[in-house]
Amino acid sequence: MLGIAFIGVGQSDSSLVAVSIAGVLIAGAALITVPASSGNRFSLALAAATAVPLLIGPIFDFGGAIGAVAVGFLSGWVVLQLFGSDEQTATADSDFLRQSFGAFLFAAFYVALEGAAGLWIGPAGANLVAAVAAALVWFAFETGAWAMTTYDRVSRRYLLRLAVEDWPVAFSLFAVGALFAYVLPELGWWAPVVALLPYSFAHIAFYRSHLARVTYSQTIRSLARIPEVAGLSPDGHSDRTADLSVAVATELGLNPHEVRMVEYAARLHDIGRITLNELNIIKVGFTDDDIARWGSEIISEAPFLTEVAALVRQQHDPYRRPGERKDPDLPIPSKIIKAASAYDHATSELGFSTLEALEVLHRGAAYDFDPDVVEGIRHIVMLGEPKS
C-alpha cells in the first residue's frame, strides 16, 4: 500500500496539499463506523474514498486519486492501531485490506465506465452512470469479501444473503461521498456541511437500530435463563438449542429474518416451564404441549415477539401424522427447534453420544422430526461445516 501511495503521488500532477487533505479525511473517517444488520461495520472512510475518484478532473488526476486513497487507508490503519477501540483493532487488518482494495476497484471501474458511458449517452450523465455502476461493483466486492472471511462454519449462501441486507448503509455512505464530490467545486468548504448534515440523521438511525437489535437479543437471552436458574430446565439448554437451531436454519437456506426468529424462539422455547412453580399445575398434570402453549402466551405479551410466540406454540407438533403427508402449515423453524432441543436433551441430559443422539432423531423421522432437519443436524454435528 505504501508503494502504491508513492507511485500514485509521484506520477501525479495533482496538488500535494489536496492529496494530503484527502488522505487525512479518509484516515479520520476510518474511526467512525456504522453498524449494519449483518454484523459488518462500514467505515465512514468509504464515503471519503468514494468522493476522491469523482473529483478526478477538477482537483485530482488518476494518479493523485489513487495516491490519496492509498495514503488515506494506510494512515487510517495506523490510526486504528493506535487509537481505535478493541473491537476496531481486532478487525483492523482484514478491514484495511478489504476496504482499500474495494476503494481501488471503485476508482478503476469509475474511470473506465465514465469513458464508456460518455460514448453512449454523452458527457452530461456519464459521471453519474459510471459512479452508480462502480458503486454496485464495490458493494458486491465488499459484501462478498466480508461474507467469505468473517465466519468459517456458516453457510456462505446465508452470509451473502445477510450481507446484501446492508445495502441501505452502503448506499448512504456512497451517497454522502458522491454529494460531497459534486458540490465541492461549487460550494468549497461548505461542501462537508451540505453532505454530512443529512447523513448525520441516517447515521443516528442506523446506530439506534443496532442498539435495538442488541437490546432485544440481550433481553431474550436473559429471559431464557429464568427456567434454568429456577432449576426447571437444564443449565445451558437454551443456548445450546439456539446455537444448533441457527446452524440448521442457515444450512437449510432460511433467510436472515427467519434465522433471527429461529434464534429467538429456540432461546425462549422452554420459558413456559416457569409456570411449573405452581403446585396446582403439578398436581393436575401437564404435557409438553401445555408448556409450549403457556410459553407462547407469555412471549406474546411482547408485540415484537408475536412471530416468535407462534413458533414456540408449535414446537411440539409432529411434522406429520400417521396416514398423512407432512403438515404444510407447520413452519420449518418450529420443526428445527423441536429436533435441536431433542438432540441436546439426548446428549446433555441422557448422556448419549453423538451417534446415539442422531439415532434417536432418525428413529423419530417417521413422524416426529422432519427428515430434512435431521439431515441438517447430522451434517453439522458430524461434518462440522454446513454446505455452501
Q: How does pLDDT run across 180-234, given as a tens digit for each residue?
A: 888 888 887 788 888 888 888 888 988 898 888 888 889 899 989 988 888 888 8
Which residues contact residue 136 at a Cβ distance below 8 angstroms, ignoring those fewer than 6 apart? none
Tell me: do 144 and 239 sit in the same domain: no
Tell me: do 15 and 135 sit in the same domain: yes
* Pair 39, 150: CB distance under 8 Å: yes
Tell me: do 156 and 278 sit in the same domain: no
Number of domains in the chain: 2
Q: Determine, yes or no, domain membership for 112.
A: yes
Q: Determine, yes or no, domain membership for 182.
A: yes
Tell me: do 250 and 183 sit in the same domain: no
Tell me: do 193 and 240 sit in the same domain: no
Q: Determine, yes or no, domain membership for 159.
A: yes
CA gyration radius for the chain?
26
Q: What CATH number corresponds to the domain at position 350?
A: 1.10.3210.10
Tell me: do 40 and 178 sit in the same domain: yes
Instruction: Look up the domain containing 55 and give its range.
Output: 2-198
Q: What CATH number corresponds to the domain at position 34?
A: 1.10.1760
Tell me: do 169 and 261 sit in the same domain: no
* Pair 60, 12: CB distance under 8 Å: yes
Tell me: do 51 and 159 sit in the same domain: yes
Task: Determine which helix (DSSP H) or strand (DSSP E) holds 41, and give its type and residue range.
Answer: strand 41-43
Tell me: do 297 and 165 sit in the same domain: no
Tell me: do 77 and 33 sit in the same domain: yes
Q: What does the pLDDT average to over 150-168?
A: 73
Q: Determine, yes or no, domain membership for 215.
A: no
- Tell me the CA end-to-end span of the chain in Å, nearest whole number: 33
**Closest C-alpha among 78, 122, 124 to residue 100:** 78
Tell me: do 153 and 248 sit in the same domain: no
Q: Determine, yes or no, domain membership for 213.
A: no
Confidence of residue 239 (pLDDT cuts 50, 70, 90): very high
Tell me: do 293 and 350 sit in the same domain: yes
Cell digits for 76?
Answer: 487510517
Q: Which residues pair with 318 in a beta bridge?
A: none
Q: Determine, yes or no, domain membership for 207.
A: no
Q: Determine, yes or no, domain membership for 204.
A: no
Phi/psi for 341 (5° steps) reads -65, -40
**pLDDT recorded at residue 387:** 43
pTM of the model: 0.79
Task: Determine which helix (DSSP H) or strand (DSSP E) holds 376, and give its type and residue range.
Answer: helix 371-378
Q: What does the pLDDT average to over 66-74?
A: 85
Percent of the chain's residues with pLDDT above 90 = 15
Q: Determine, yes or no, domain membership for 211.
A: no
